[in-house]
Amino acid sequence: REHRATANGSGPVDAIFKAIESVAQSQSTLQIYSVNAVTQGTESQGETSVRLQRGDRVVNGQGADTDVLVATAKAYLSALSKLEFGRAKQKAQGSGLI
């Protein structure tokens, strides 16, 4: 399902995180954000990593793209997906489905 959101931030990365969070409403906290070049040159691929925490659960997400902002969104969504999978798994275990 596709969602659209806009947000203002102290820069484009902050705005991306805020826009995604406005839809996801994960109530998570960003612990770490890092960017690395995977290849050399001006057309290099950037790899981003994020660490999110919600309660006592901590997850990492990675993203890669030639556009570091797209890579950032991919990493954030990857981490959110792991948080949500963990939440769904806990609910299923509590109900005896797993």
With a cut of 90, say whether residue 86 has pLDDT above it.
Answer: no
Phi (first) and psi of residue 89, to 5 degrees: -65, -40
CA distance 32 to 49: 8
Which structure tokens are listed for 85? 């999978």
pLDDT tens by residue, 18-44 = 999 999 999 999 999 999 988 888 788
pLDDT of residue 1: 80
With a cut of 80, say whether residue 96 has pLDDT above it.
Answer: no
pLDDT tens by residue, 38-80 = 888 878 899 999 999 999 999 999 999 999 999 999 999 999 9
Burial of 80 (0-12, 13-18, 19+ CB in 10 A): buried
Q: Is residue 5 very low, low, confident or very high in pLDDT (cuts 50, 70, 90)?
A: very high
3-state secondary structure of 58: strand
> Architecture of domain 28-95 in CATH?
2-Layer Sandwich (3.30)
